[in-house]
Chains A and B, each alone.
With several copies, the nearest count.
Chain A
Amino acid sequence: MSTPDDLTRAVEAVLFAAEEPLTIHEIKAHLGDADVRPVLDALSEHYAERGIALVRRGERWHFETAGDLAHLLRRDREEPRKLSRAGTETLAIIAYHEPVTRAEIESIRGVQISKGTLDVLMEAGWIRPAGRREVPGRPLTYATTQGFLDHFGLASRRDLPGIDDLRAAGLLDPVDLAMEQAEVENRDEEA
C-alpha cells in the first residue's frame, strides 16, 4: 500500500477513534455506503508488520497494539522505601527467636503488631510462615528466609550478634546504660 486513498484513510480514522470494535455495518454508517470490506483487508495487510495491528474478532474490527509488543506496555518501577520501626523490630524478633508466633512477637515487643507489619515483611521476602505450633489454637509461626540472609549480608542467623555482644556494643537500652556508665565511673574513682 503506497499512498492510501480517501476511503482507506477514512476507515483507518473511524476504527482508530472508535471506543469499541466496529462491525462493517457500523463503519459504513460513518462513511456513506462504501464497499469497506476490501479496504479492511488491505489495511490488515498494511499493519501486519507494524507495531499496530488491525484485527477481526467475530464480525467486529478494531486496532490493537501488536501482540508481540504487549510486554512494552507495562513497565516495572522499583520504589525504595525504608522499613518502619515496627517492621524492623518485628523482623529482629523473628530473626532472634524463630520460629515464633505472632503472640510471642507481641509479648517480646511489649506492643501489638498490625497485620500490615507481617505482610510488609512477607512482601519484602524476608519472612515466611514456618508451620503451626502444636499448642491450643495451633498458631502460625514465622521464620526468616534465605532472602533475609542475602539482604543483610549474613551467612547464617548465627552471625547475628548475641545479647552480650549487644550489651558490649552499647545497644541495650542506651538511655539507662548511660546512667549506669556514669555511676561506674564514680565507683572507679573511689576504688
Chain B
Amino acid sequence: MTDARGEDERLTIDIDGWEGPLDLLLALARNQKVDLREISILDLVEQYLDYVGHAQSLKLELAADYLVMAAWLAYLKSALLLPRDPEVEPSPEELAMRLQLRLERLNAMRDAGARLMARDRLGRDVFTRGAPEGLRTIRQTVWQAEIYDLIAAYGRVSARTRPVLHVVAQRPVMTLETAIARVEAMVGERIDWSTIESFLPADASPGFRKSALASSFLAALELARQGKVQLKQKSPFAPLYLRGPA
C-alpha cells in the first residue's frame, strides 16, 4: 500500500505528462509488470480511481475526460463484482476485454513509434550524396500551328483592316414617275371602279409589289389632284377604288 501511495505521488507530479486517461491507464498497467494480456483489470481500475481520488483531494484540476473515465471504470468495477445480470449487454467481462484490447493497441503503436524513430533515418544516420550534379530536363517548346490557322488568320486580319467598300444593293423599286404613268394609262381603259391592287404588276415579287403599291397610291392621289382620277373608299382601311374622270 505504501508502494502504491508512492506511485500516486509520482503520478500527481507528472499530471501534465499524461496524454489522456487511456495513456494514464496504460502507464498503470505497465506498472503491473506483466504482459498486457494478463493484467488484472480490477487492480487497474483500483489504481486509476485511487489516483483520480488522490488528485482531487489535492484539489488538482483534472480534465473532464479523466473524470468521465473514472466514472466509467467505477461502473465497470461494480459490474464485475456484483452478481451477473444476464440482461445487460455487453457483459462486464466483454467491456473489460475491450478495455484491455485498447490498451494493447495503444501500447503496440507506442512501441512501433519508438522503433520507427530508432531506425537509420535519412539526414540523421544515413545521408544522400552531398553535392549531386543533378539531373536536368531541358524543356523545349515545340510551337504548333496548322496551315489552315495561318490562312484563316490572314483572312481575319485582312477583313479587319481592309478599307470597307459599301455597295448599296439594288432594291426592287417602282418610282413615282413610273407609277403615275402606269395608273394614268390603265385608268383610261377601266369603265367601272377598280381596286388599287388591280393596277399593280401581276407577277411582281412581294418586295416589288409593296413598292408598287406605295407608289401607285401616291400616283392616284397626284392624279386625283390633277382631276384625272376619281377615288372612292367607304371607310378607313376599306378597299380603295379608282375610276376615270366622270
A169, B146: Cα distance in complex, Å: 17
Q: At the interface, yes or no: A158 with Cβ under 8 Å from chain B?
A: no
A108, B108: Cα distance in complex, Å: 10
A14, B133: Cα distance in complex, Å: 10
Chain B 5-24: CB-based contact to A (< 8 A → 1; otherwise 0)? 00000000000000111110
Known contacts A111-B20, A123-B141, A166-B155; decide if A92 and B112 are in contact (CB<8 Å).
yes
A152, B68: Cα distance in complex, Å: 38
A62, B25: Cα distance in complex, Å: 43
* Contact, CB under 8 Å: B150 / A85: no
* Contact, CB under 8 Å: B155 / A172: yes
Q: At the interface, yes or no: B137 with Cβ under 8 Å from chain A?
A: yes
Q: At the interface, yes or no: B161 with Cβ under 8 Å from chain A?
A: yes
Chain A 173-185: CB-based contact to B (< 8 A → 1; otherwise 0)? 1101001000100
Smallest CB gap from A69: residue in B: B126
Q: At the interface, yes or no: A189 with Cβ under 8 Å from chain B?
A: yes
The residues of A that contact B137 with a CB separation of less than 8 Å are 74-77
B-binding segment of A1-9, A15-23, A42-50, A129-137:
A15-23
* Contact, CB under 8 Å: A18 / B65: no
* Contact, CB under 8 Å: B130 / A91: no
Chain B 58-70: CB-based contact to A (< 8 A → 1; otherwise 0)? 0000000101110
Q: At the interface, yes or no: A187 with Cβ under 8 Å from chain B?
A: yes
* Contact, CB under 8 Å: A173 / B160: yes
* Contact, CB under 8 Å: A65 / B126: yes
Smallest CB gap from B108: residue in A: A171
Q: At the interface, yes or no: A35 with Cβ under 8 Å from chain B?
A: no
Smallest CB gap from A149: residue in B: B122
Chain B 124-162: CB-based contact to A (< 8 A → 1; otherwise 0)? 111111111111111111111111011111111111111
Q: At the interface, yes or no: B83 with Cβ under 8 Å from chain A?
A: no
Chain A 74-100: CB-based contact to B (< 8 A → 1; otherwise 0)? 111111111101111101110110000
A-binding segment of B48-56, B98-106, B191-199:
B98-106
| Size class of the contact patch on chain A | 35 or more
Q: At the interface, yes or no: B57 with Cβ under 8 Å from chain A?
A: no
The residues of A that contact B22 with a CB separation of less than 8 Å are 109-111
The CB with the most chain B CB atoms within 10 A, among A70, A89, A91, A111, is that of A89
* Contact, CB under 8 Å: A19 / B134: yes
Q: At the interface, yes or no: A154 with Cβ under 8 Å from chain B?
A: yes
Contact of B132 among A18, A80, A152 (CB under 8 A): A18
Contact of A93 among B123, B124, B154 (CB under 8 A): B154
The residues of A that contact B135 with a CB separation of less than 8 Å are 14, 17-19, 22, 30, 73-75
* Contact, CB under 8 Å: B150 / A95: yes
A74, B124: Cα distance in complex, Å: 7
Smallest CB–CB gap between A81 and chain B, Å? 5
Known contacts A81-B141, A110-B161, A153-B147; decide if A17 and B115 are in contact (CB<8 Å).
no
- Residues of A108-141 at the interface with B, using a CB-CB cut-off of 8 Å, are 108-112, 120, 123-124, 126
Chain A interface residues (CB < 8 Å from chain B): 13-14, 16-20, 22, 30, 53, 62-67, 70, 73-83, 85-89, 91-93, 95-96, 107-112, 120, 123-124, 126, 150-154, 160-163, 166, 169, 171-174, 176, 179, 183, 186-191
Chain B interface residues (CB < 8 Å from chain A): 19-23, 25, 65, 67-69, 71-72, 75, 95, 98, 102, 104-106, 108-117, 119-147, 149-162, 169-170, 172, 205, 207-208
A-B contact pairs, 13 of them (CB 8 A): A19-B134, A64-B128, A75-B135, A88-B150, A93-B109, A93-B157, A110-B106, A152-B122, A169-B108, A171-B154, A186-B207, A187-B72, A190-B205
